Amino acid sequence: MADLLKLNDISLAYDTAEGVLPVVQNLSLCLEKGHIGCLLGASGCGKTTVLRAIAGFEPLRAGSICLGDTVLSEVGVQIEPEHRHVGMMFQDYALFPHLDVARNIGFGLRRWDKQRRKNRVAELLSLAGLEGWAHRYPHELSGGQQQRVALARALAPEPELLLLDEPFSNLDVDTRERLAFEVRDILKKTGHTAILVTHNQAEAFAIADRIGVMQGGVIAQWDTPYGLHHQPANRFVADFIKREALMAQRAQAYLRGEAS
Amino acid sequence: MNEAARAPAPALSRFSQELPLLQRLRRIFTPRSGLLWRVAALLIALCVVAPVITLVWFAVQGSLEHWTHLLTYVLPHAMRNTILLLLGVGALVICLGVGSAWLITAYRFPGSRILSWALLLPLAVPTYIVAFAYLDILHPIGPVQTLIRDLLGFDSPRDFRLPDLRSLPGAIFLLGFVLYPYVYLSTRVMFATQAASLLEAARVLGESGRSTFFRVALPMARPAIAVGVSLALLETLNDIGASEFLGVQTLTVSVYTTWVTRSDLAGASQIALAMLAIVAILILFERYGRRHQRYASTQRARSVQARQLHGAPAILATVLGLLPILIGFVAPALYLLNETIKHFHTVGAVSDQLLLSGYNTVKIALIATIVTLACGLAVAWAARAIRHSASPSTTKLYARVATSGYAIPGTVLAIGLLSPLMLIDGAAGWVWEKLGNAEPGLLLMGTSIALVCAYVIRFLAISIGGIEAGLARIPPSLEQAARLLGETPTSTLRRVHLPLLRPALGAAALLVFVDTMKELPATLMLRPVNFETLATWLYAEAARGTYEEGAVAALAIVLAGLLPVILLARSQLKPTH
């Protein structure tokens, strides 16, 4: 299938008081339509900055970002976030506290006609398993429910691409894995293309079709989960994957020891 | 690699060429450039500096003779009075403000809870009203002096009378008792949030209560005191009514009389310039305080454990705490209430003129509030929306400039606004005549537009401050979420931020509304002919010495002034309970 999202040699940097601070350098990746990609890396490796650049909140210093046939960003020119057909789920969910669940989900459907909007909101409420919660306010919901509202809201305007910024980091460990599978199910059911950013390997492997291991502003390897495990491109990827796996094993062993 | 990077370029240039006009226009108003908001912020900042610039211009234009005349006859006397007044009021507000703040923080005694917020009440009484009330209360044949004579066994004011209130010490006394809450508030917040561990450390190290105060608490509170005192002194410099009623010829009064009785704009500008110099010193003083306050506030907040007082010390503490409230609020408020009731008993109704000036006051305060909030919103939103853009510092500068209007005394502002407003009036009249109309009126000076301009400039800081604080509580992700759901920055403001800002906007609106109602000096100088507000009505009554309905107007102003005090008491002092 054709590639939907293309990042061509993009570089990103922040202006600080001391000068320009480079964050991402010559990063390229392609994502097929209907696939779920993931940027995996420790904090500060630039993965969230890449996501913000795709959303249109960071200007490019070099390279270009294309979605289908449209150029979203180039040096000096960028389409405004509201015209990109890109949805995003934020780390803090960013639910509007003054709107109830139904109006949060319907926020991006202002230009739709009333009946269509109503149907779409109902459809998403059931997709997210939130029927009966339509008129609750965000602060009345649990963390997992808030997260599903955020997902439903991002999907409502039928974006071509969905961005997920550390979507599970605010949840406790148990719900985290369950929800990772739930989100994958929802995205696969609706056929959405998505990019996820996380520092948690288990999440990445649970949800993604393609994973990019990031280090110091570059992608060390962009591959399937299978490929990462069995053919790591270099020492860093191998260590990164192994170390996390090792830690997970140790933690499990420790927990088993505690239990017995 | 190189070719791959260049590949999308043709597509892109096609994209930007084919952009229809409407979309190109929309791009101009987009968030990243944020041009519309930035231009608005720039214009508003220019409006704020305009009066200062014209003031300097006119002062320099004035001939040398003017200067020498001023330097020999007017300035030395007025300058001396003003500086003595500032020094006296400064000393008094420090004693009252710091003393009461320490009393409330360090000790617990009967009524201390109530006193902690009641000590703010004198803020509701404008300086000209406290002078208006006390001139009558302490009149040689007024209630207080009669009572004292009765107690001491004198028959007539000729045998015994208190020193005349109409003097510099009298003015210092009255202004000090209504302005001390500025110091009380800033110092109390400092004591309540910062002091705990340090004070306890001092006590453990063997200092007594009193020496803890002088060796630890007072030095620590110095920045907070600086902030409070400079605000109180800016208010003192702004005052025209009290000085005028009490016969103290200050710089403010000189500016007013130079313009109103002698129509001497250059002379008034020159005196106003001298006042601006004092304002600059006070602002530097305040900035100094705020800078140091920021460093101090990095520690964790914990309240001081207050010491319970019993017996005589407890009674003494209650009396000491009550005294400033009695003098600064209760006595004048009761006096005004009594006079109002008397007036209704004898006359039965208020005059139409008073009703009209009340209506005028509410109307112009409403208009000024709406414009001030709109301008404040524009400046605060510009400062936020362009945060990621290339020039955030310029927008921050606009916000800084736009908030500096609060420091310009009303008379100085009015003198500075006169010439630009008359210039615009002249231009508008010229255009009007060229269009074939006869006898142009004054567009700005003849209507209350000039007044609204002055109010907006003076009170913009309140609305910008409130809105910026409100915006700071809204996470940026909400803005980004709205953008990705298809909203432009402006519609994001409408659909997300405005609803969430409602409490902040409401509080700012209340503060601006009441401050506008109370404003006297600029109103006196810029109002159209025959346009009276409650404040100018009161001023006229006091100037005529008729005192008939002045008390009714004054009571209305004090009652309105209570609303922001309640708001302040709730927001500032709640966390420390």
Q: Kindly provide the ipTM of the predicted complex, given to two decimals.
A: 0.86
Domain boundary among B477, B493, B518: B518
Token digits of residue B300 = 């964790």
List, in order, residues 6 or more apart from A31 with CB less than 8 Å away. Answer: A3, A4, A5, A37, A193, A195, A210
Whether B273 and B307 share a structural domain: yes
Q: Does a structural domain hold residue A149?
A: no
Tens of pLDDT, residues B375-391: 999 988 888 765 544 45
Whether B142 and B70 share a structural domain: yes
- pLDDT at residue number A7: 93
Residues of B within 8 A of A98 (CB-CB) are 499-500
Q: Does a structural domain hold residue B450?
A: yes
Token digits of residue B122 = 């004198």
B5-33 mean pLDDT: 45
Q: Are A96 and B496 inside 8 Å of each other by CB?
A: yes
Residues of B within 8 A of A94 (CB-CB) are 475, 477-478, 480-481
Number of domains in chain B: 2
Report which residue type is found at B154.
F
B133-137 mean pLDDT: 89
Shortest Cα distance from B477 to chain A (angstroms)?
A: 6
Q: Does a structural domain hold residue B5?
A: no
Q: How confident is the model at residue B2 (pLDDT cuts 50, 70, 90)?
A: very low
- pLDDT at residue number B392: 56
Tens of pLDDT, residues A72-110: 998 878 888 889 999 999 989 999 999 999 999 999 999
Q: Does a structural domain hold residue B13?
A: no
Whether B114 and B254 share a structural domain: yes
Shortest Cα distance from A38 to chain B (angstroms)?
A: 20
- pLDDT at residue number B387: 53
- pLDDT at residue number B47: 87
Domain boundary among B495, B518, B541: B518
pLDDT of residue B300 exceeding 60 = no
Q: Does a structural domain hold residue B17?
A: no
Q: How confident is the model at residue B301 (pLDDT cuts 50, 70, 90)?
A: low
Tens of pLDDT, residues B218-270: 888 888 899 899 999 999 999 999 999 999 999 999 999 888 888 888 888 88
Q: Distance between CA atoms of B76 and B53, rounded to whole angstroms?
A: 24
Q: Does a structural domain hold residue B351?
A: no
Residues of B within 8 A of A9 (CB-CB) are 1, 4-5
Whether B100 and B240 share a structural domain: yes
Q: Distance between CA atoms of B332 and B380, rounded to whole angstroms?
A: 39
Q: Distance between CA atoms of A211 and B481, rounded to whole angstroms?
A: 25
Q: Does a structural domain hold residue B53?
A: no
Which position has the token pair 């002096």?
Answer: B145
Q: Cβ(B179)–Cβ(B217) under 8 Å?
A: no
Tens of pLDDT, residues A4-25: 999 999 999 887 777 788 889 9
B536-549 mean pLDDT: 83
Tens of pLDDT, residues B332-350: 999 999 989 988 888 877 7
pLDDT of residue B292 exceeding 90 = no
Whether B409 and B319 share a structural domain: no
Token digits of residue B342 = 């008397």
Q: Distance between CA atoms of B493 and A24, rounded to whole angstroms?
A: 31
SS3 B439: coil
Chain A residue with CA closest to B490: the answer is: A82
Give the mutation candidate from A96, A99, A112 for the B interface (greatest B CB count, under 10 A).
A96
Q: Does a structural domain hold residue A13?
A: no
- pLDDT at residue number B3: 39
B396-411 mean pLDDT: 85
Q: Distance between CA atoms of A208 and A216, rounded to whole angstroms?
A: 22
Shortest Cα distance from A206 to chain B (angstroms)?
A: 26
Whether B331 and B370 share a structural domain: no
- The CATH number of the domain where A194 resides is what? 3.40.50.300
List, in order, residues 6 or more apart from B546 with CB less than 8 Å away. Answer: none
Shortest Cα distance from B481 to chain A (angstroms)?
A: 7
Write the secondary structure of chain A as one string of H (helix), E (strand) and C (coil).
CCEEEEEEEEEEEEEECCEEEEEEEEEEEEEECCCEEEEECCCCCCHHHHHHHHHCCCCCCEEEEEECCEEEEECCEECCHHHCCEEEECCCCCCCCCCCHHHHHCHHHCCCCHHHHHHHHHHHHHHCCCCCCCCCCHHHCCHHHHHHHHHHHHHCCCCCEEEEECCCCCCCHHHHHHHHHHHHHHHHHHCCEEEEEECCHHHHHHHCCEEEEEECCEEEEEECHHHHHHCCCCHHHHHHHHHHHHHHHHHHHHHHHHHC
Task: Give the closest of B7, B31, B481 to A94, CB-based.
Answer: B481
Q: Are A92 and B475 inside 8 Å of each other by CB?
A: yes
- Phi, psi (degrees; rounded to nearest 5) at A220: -75, -35
Q: Are A94 and B12 inside 8 Å of each other by CB?
A: no
pLDDT of residue B13 exceeding 70 = no
- The CATH number of the domain where B286 resides is what? 1.10.3720.10
Residues of A within 8 A of B15 (CB-CB) are 70-71, 77
Whether B238 and B313 share a structural domain: yes
Whether B341 and B389 share a structural domain: no
Q: Does a structural domain hold residue B525?
A: no
Whether B492 and B557 share a structural domain: no
Residues of A within 8 A of B495 (CB-CB) are 107
Q: Distance between CA atoms of B445 and B447, rounded to whole angstroms?
A: 5
Q: Distance between CA atoms of B371 and B509, rounded to whole angstroms?
A: 10
- pLDDT at residue number A227: 87
Q: Cβ(B539)–Cβ(B245) under 8 Å?
A: no
Whether B502 and B572 share a structural domain: no
pLDDT of residue B299 exceeding 70 = no
Task: Give the closest of B32, B485, B496 to A108, CB-based.
Answer: B485
- For chain A, which ranges sit under pLDDT 70? 1, 243-260
Q: Distance between CA atoms of B236 and B85, rounded to whole angstroms?
A: 8
Q: Cβ(A197)–Cβ(A47) under 8 Å?
A: yes
Residue-range definition of the domain harbouring residue B494: 29-48+362-518
Q: Does a structural domain hold residue B523?
A: no
Token digits of residue A155 = 């999907």
Work out the mean pLDDT of chain B and round it to a whole number.
Answer: 83
Residue-range definition of the domain harbouring residue A177: 34-57+79-85+159-259
Q: How confident is the model at residue B48 (pLDDT cuts 50, 70, 90)?
A: confident
- Highest average pLDDT, of B155-164, B319-328, B439-448, comes from B319-328
- pLDDT at residue number B574: 52
Number of domains in chain A: 1
Q: Which residues, listed in sequence order, are joined to residue B482 by a DSSP beta bridge? A: none
Whether B224 and B368 share a structural domain: no
Q: How confident is the model at residue B362 (pLDDT cuts 50, 70, 90)?
A: very high
Whether B110 and B249 share a structural domain: yes
- pLDDT at residue number B410: 93
Tens of pLDDT, residues B484-523: 999 988 899 999 999 999 988 998 999 899 999 999 999 9
Q: In which element (H, E) is residue B546 found?
A: none
Residues of B within 8 A of A124 (CB-CB) are none
